Structure formats: C-alpha cells, structure tokens
Chain A
C-alpha cells in the first residue's frame, strides 16, 4: 500500500539505478525502494518508505487542521458520530421488546412529548424516541450501503467513459446520459415496486439509479488526467489499459469519489425515506421513512399530532445536513479552487 502512488517516481529513476556501477549499494538497498539507489552513493541511506510515510503524515496533519478550522464540518462530524453510536447501541439502550405493541397496553396513545415520554408516543403507544433510535439503524445503513454501490458503479462507468474512446466509450456515455436525464427517484420507484420488498431491494434500487452524477465527475477528472504528460509517458513505456486505469487513474479520481461519497449519503438517506414513505420499504423494520408513512396513514399532520410528523423529519434533516457539511469540507480540502467560494 505504502509505495503505490510512487510507482511513477520509481519508474522514472529505474534507468538510473540500472546504470549505477556501485553494486554493493544496490545490494544493500535491495530491500528498500529503487528510488534511493541513485543518490545513495554519497548520502547516508534514505529510507524511501519512511519518507513517504512522513509525507503522508504531514499531509494528514495539514488536512486535519483544515478540517478542524471548518466549524460546520466539525459540528457535522459530531452529529454523525452521535447518530452512528445510537444506531449501533440501539439494542442495548432500548431492547426491541420495548417496541412490541402487545407490551405497550398501559402506555397512553398519542401522548405529546413530556417528561415521561420525551418525544411522545405514536398511534400504538410506542415511544417515538425508541422508534427513532431503531430507525437510525436502517436509515443510515441503507444510506451508506446504497452510496457505496452507487460509487462503485459510478467510478467504473466514469473511468470507462473517460478512458476508452470510440464506439465503446460512446455507448457508455449514452448510458450515463440516460441515467442523468431520468430522475433516479422514478427509476428507484419502478425497481423497488417490481422486486421483493425488503431493505436489500431498497439499497439496490437506490444504488443502481443514483450513480450517474458520480460517473460524470469521474469522467471529467479522467479526461483531464488522461491528457497529462505522465500518462503519456506511462503509455510510451508500454503500460496497458489495466496498468493505466488501476495504477494512475484510480488513485487520481479516488479523492474526488470519496468527497462525493459523503455528499451522496445524504441524498441516499432522503431517497430511502421517500421510498419507505411511498410504501415501498420493509414494513417490518423501523426506518425514519416508515415512521413518517405511519404518521401519514393516520393523518397525523391534520389531526394535531405534530410530534409524530416532526421528530423523524428532524432526525433526517440533522443527519443529511451533517453528511453534507462533512462532505463539503472534504471537497474543499481536495479541491483548493473551491475554498475561496
């Protein structure tokens, strides 16, 4: 892992290393990086791996200080950690039996928020705060899983469209265009209504339909990197498609993809809640969208049960905002041109 991005540098100095007459130095450094061989004659042995590690550490420190100075991003990160923790520990904080309707007979229905019922209760006497807690699990899991899927498809399609020209590239471009033109919600509705209901279906429906904008970004980046000299050099040195794509292109587009990931999780969570709200979700599992659907089913909005409508939506708003803030900070770190905006 440590010397992957330096392949280009190592390649560059490889001819040098071959012409160095000092065989003993070469032997002594056989285990170290090639790059050090040429300069090792006079100077003490330089550990290439260590250099890389130090540079990485410095970079990480610089990025962290950039991130830390971004107050909204920091708040967003804290909110995210909070929600991820409650999602993980939901079974410990409030066991599933606390949501069992048959055990809630003595709990008042439609109790507004009070000291005894912090976020109020729903139409079956279940505590809303427990439902929110359990809902966080599905909502965040679906958001993250769908995003990972959409990132993988988007990166592959974007790389393919940017790297390969000709007929194949044009076909890929046409497919990306199609998915950009058609709103992903519409396609996701179609997919999730014809497949078996379930959390996995929702993940697939969102993941399969929301990758187009990532593909577009990856493609632009691929095109701009493709025209740089080091790619031409690699090609002249005999690098094939696989080498260029995986050793040069992928590392070049990865930072962008990662920043985009954080931003996409937010919209995936909204998409999940929308699909669940439309009745396409898994009704046996709590999710924030399902809670909102239940509230709609009993017309909570027009009957004055404001807490039933308000709390799941605020949870969605907080998590999506948090992901957006963190994502924007990542984007600003990766792309300095955005910082001034």
Chain B
C-alpha cells in the first residue's frame, strides 16, 4: 500500500531527465499557442520543477546537437552536393589539367572523404575555415572583419523592433477592435507581406535617391575616423535606413504575439480583482496584465532573432552594409563556396547561441520554473 499510484512530476534527475513527455533535449519553452487553449500533455510547455542544472544541461545538449548538425550539414552541403567544386570553377574559366590538379590538392580534394571531413573538423575547431576563392584571404579573417558591422546593425534593429512591437502590441490588445488596434494590426500585416529587400529598395529610392537626405550605401563616408564625433554621427546616418527596413519587417511579428498573449490574459480573474481594488486601467495594464503577458512573448521574440539575422543578408546587400550579410551576398555571386560555408557556420552558431541564451533567460523570468 505504500506504493504511490500516481507518479508526480518530481524534480528531474540528471541530464535527459525532466518531464516524462519531454524526452532528451526537450523542446523550446512555451512558444505561443497558435491552437488556442486545451492541449494536454504538450511537450512544449516549460518543464515545471526540475533542477536548474538539469535544465541547463538539457538545453546545452540541445544547442550542442544543433551545432553538430550545422557543422555536418556545412560539410555535406558544400563538399558533397555540388559535385566537384574545382570542376565547377573550371567550367567558368578555362584551366589546364595541371592547374586543375593543383587546385584540387590546394583544397585537399584529392584526399578520401573521411580525411577531408576530419581536416574540416580540425579546421573549424582551430578557426581555420579555408581560403576564399574571390578575396584570396582566409575566410576566418574576413568573417572577423565583417562581424562587427552586422552585430551593430542587427542589435540596433532588434532593440528597436522589440521595444516598438511589444509597446504597440500591448496597446493594441488593451484597446482591442479600436481604430488604433485596426491601424496597428493592418500596418504590420502589410509590412509582413513584403520582401525585406523590396522595402529597403523603396526606402533607398525615397530617402537616398529622390530626397537625398541620407546616404545610399556603406557604413561610413570614406576618410572619416569612425571614433571621432563626426564619424559617429556619420555612421548613425548610414545606419538609419537599414535599421528602419529591418525593424519594419520584424516588429509586426512581435506586435501580433504580444497582442495575442495579452488578449489571452485579459479575461483572467486577477485583473477583475485588481480593478476591484480601485486601480486605474493604466495601472491594471502596466502592473498586472503586461508582466504576465510578457512571459510567453519573450521566447518568441528570441526565437525570431534568427530570422532577423537572416534578414540582414538582403538588407546588407541592398545598402552595401559591410557586414556578414554582404559577405554572404558576394559569396553567392562569386560563387565562393568556402566563404559561403564560413558565413553559414558562423551565422548558425550566432543563432544557436542566441536561442540558448533565450532558454536560460526564460528560466529566470518565469517564477513557476525558477522555484526549484
């Protein structure tokens, strides 16, 4: 009779433990419930209880698996799928058989696949990503040079898009079906329905071409010192159009998620209690409803950071912003496969790390999962 008939979800053991439905790695926590309420035993909900260490290890394991997949995919996509890259180059410019053989040994293509894969793995862990066909420079050096501008651009855009999206989203939800809500929702729908690069071209056309208010490309006027006052102002001027483009396309998603999440929250009893206490509508919204609605939103926001970084590819191509996106664009037009492989692995690594960070931040934000 001492045997418990129900197994309560007790604290999870080591890595891979967690809730019974979760399985190893689990899923990313609480993505917005697109299907409405009433989904029993969904693995997507954050594992309740469980030690922080177990959670952390599980998430780390997940991120590590993704990273391994990226590395393997990077090898197979670029070394296996295109056939012989040297033959591809030879097709585009005339080469003698001797030159072809030299290129093959230069890129290590005359070795067996397993050896090539091993060399590639060793290369990745030692920061050697091969040499760019077009630039004739090591890919890793190029990436280091171009990483900063991309981080500047995407971070600025992310901060503005998140702030704007969440703020407009909660206002929309609170005044549901008002004129403000309708305008905000339909504007974001329109922005969501256009290709990022087209929006960039339009802005470029209006503010760069016709009005000539802002520079049409690059990051800084040549010859200016980026750390001087005039230089910083100049960089900001160059930053305005690409940032607006990225924000316009991304904030809509944040707005919709925040709106849906707050609407879900608005029928809850604790808001009636808050009103009965005599709080004003603004206080009810800011102090009670929004903090709770923010919780599921945060994860979605972080999950979309990946999309934001991918959007950088076209935005940087349109505005000639000297970042990883432009490097990718040049690698495509090359075609410069080692460079493309490098940017793919680095982009993916950034996104996976951001996602891992989101999972950890979420753990600290949600009091229900933090208690353990």
Give A170 to B18 CA distance when docked, in angstroms. Answer: 13
Contacts of B36 in A (CB 8 A): 335, 337-338
Would you give the shortest CB distance from B192 to chain A, in whole angstroms? 8
Chain A proximity mask over B188-205: 1 for CB below 8 Å, otherwise 0: 011011111110011011
Residues of B within 8 A of A181 (CB): 28, 66, 303, 306, 351-352, 355
Which A residues are CB-close (under 8 A) to B205? 301-302, 306, 309
Q: Is B193 a contact partner of A317 (Cβ separation < 8 A)? A: yes
- Taking a contact as CB atoms under 8 Å apart, the answer to whether A278 and B193 are in contact is no
Q: Does A274 contact B (CB under 8 A)?
A: yes
The B-contacting residues of A in range 262-285, CB under 8 angstroms, are 266, 270, 273-274, 277-280
Could you tell me if B39 and A174 are in contact, using CB atoms closer than 8 angstroms? no
> Is residue A149 contacting chain B, with contact meaning CB distance below 8 A?
no
Q: Is the interface of A mostly helix, strand, loop or mixed?
A: helix
> Do the beta carbons of B201 and A316 come within 8 Å of each other?
no
B332 A279 Cβ-Cβ under 8 A:
yes
A301/B204 in contact, CB under 8 A: yes
Q: Are B209 and A301 in contact (CB under 8 A)?
A: yes
Query: From residue A80, how far is it (CB to closest CB) to chain B in Å?
Result: 13
- Say how far B353's CB is from chain A's closest CB, in angstroms: 11
CA of A165 to CA of B19, assembled, Å: 13
| Residues on A with beta carbons closer than 8 Å to the beta carbon of B209 | 301-304
12 contacts between A and B (CB under 8 A): A174-B65, A182-B348, A185-B313, A189-B328, A189-B340, A220-B39, A277-B195, A277-B197, A296-B201, A309-B205, A313-B195, A317-B194
Give the CA-CA distance A338 to B263 in the complex, in Å: 11
Kindly state the separation between the CA atoms of A321 and B318 in the bound complex, as whole angstroms: 23
* A175-188 to B contact mask, C-beta < 8 Å, 1/0: 00110111101100
Check if A193 sits within 8 Å of B335, measured CB to CB.
yes
User: In the complex, how many angstroms separate the beta carbon of B19 from the nearest chain A beta carbon?
Assistant: 12
Q: Given the complex, which residues of B lie within 8 Å of A174, measured CB to CB?
A: 25, 62, 65
The answer to whether B23 and A169 touch across the interface, beta carbons within 8 angstroms, is yes
* B317 / chain A contacts, CB cutoff of 8 Å: 277-278
Binds A, one of B76-84, B112-120, B158-166, B363-371: B76-84
- Size class of the B contact interface (CB-based, 8 Å): 35 or more
> Is the Cβ of B204 less than 8 Å from the Cβ of A302?
yes
Contact of B193 among A178, A191, A223, A324 (CB under 8 A): A324
Known: A180-B28, A301-B208, A335-B35. A320 touches B194 (CB 8 A): yes
> In the complex, what's the smallest C-beta–C-beta distance from A146 to chain B, in angstroms?
15
- A residues less than 8 Å from B198 (CB atoms): 273, 292, 309, 312-313, 316
A193, A270, A273, A320 — most chain B CB neighbours (10 Å): A193
List chain B residues, Cβ under 8 A from A178.
Answer: 65-66, 69
CB of B247 to closest CB in A, whole Å? 17
Contact A194 B81 (CB under 8 A): yes
Minimum Cβ distance to chain B for residue A335 (Å):
6
With A181-B352, A217-B34, A220-B44 already in contact, the answer to whether A193 and B193 are too (CB < 8 A) is: no
- The interface size of chain A toward B, counting residues with CB under 8 Å, comes to 58
Decide yes or no whether A221 CB sits under 8 A from chain B: yes
Is B223 positioned at the interface, with any CB of A under 8 Å from its CB? Answer: no
Is A173 an interface position by the 8 A CB rule?
yes
Contact with B along A311-341 (1 / 0, CB 8 A): 0110011001100100000000001011001
Query: A224 and B260: CB pair below 8 A?
Result: no
Q: Are A220 and B25 in contact (CB under 8 A)?
A: no
Contact A321 B190 (CB under 8 A): yes
Given contacts A193-B335, A278-B317, A324-B193, contact A183 B307 (CB under 8 A): yes
Q: Is the CB of B344 within 8 A of A183?
A: no
By beta carbon, the residue of chain B nearest A293 is: B197
Residue A190 interfacial (CB < 8 Å): yes
Closest to A183 in B: B310
Interface flag for B38 (CB, 8 Å): yes
Give complex CA distance A193, B352 in Å: 22
A49 within 8 A of B: no
Q: Return the CB mask of B30-68 against A: 1 if under 8 Å, else 0.
A: 010111111111111000000000000000001001100
Which chain A residues lie closer than 8 Å to B106 at the CB level? Answer: none
| B314 interface hit (Cβ, 8 Å) | yes
Q: B151 → chain A, closest Cβ, in Å?
A: 16
B24 near A: Cβ within 8 Å?
yes
Say whether, besides A301-B205, A302-B204, A302-B205, A194 and B78 are in contact (CB < 8 Å): yes
Which residue in A223, A302, A317 is a CB contact (below 8 Å) of B216?
A302
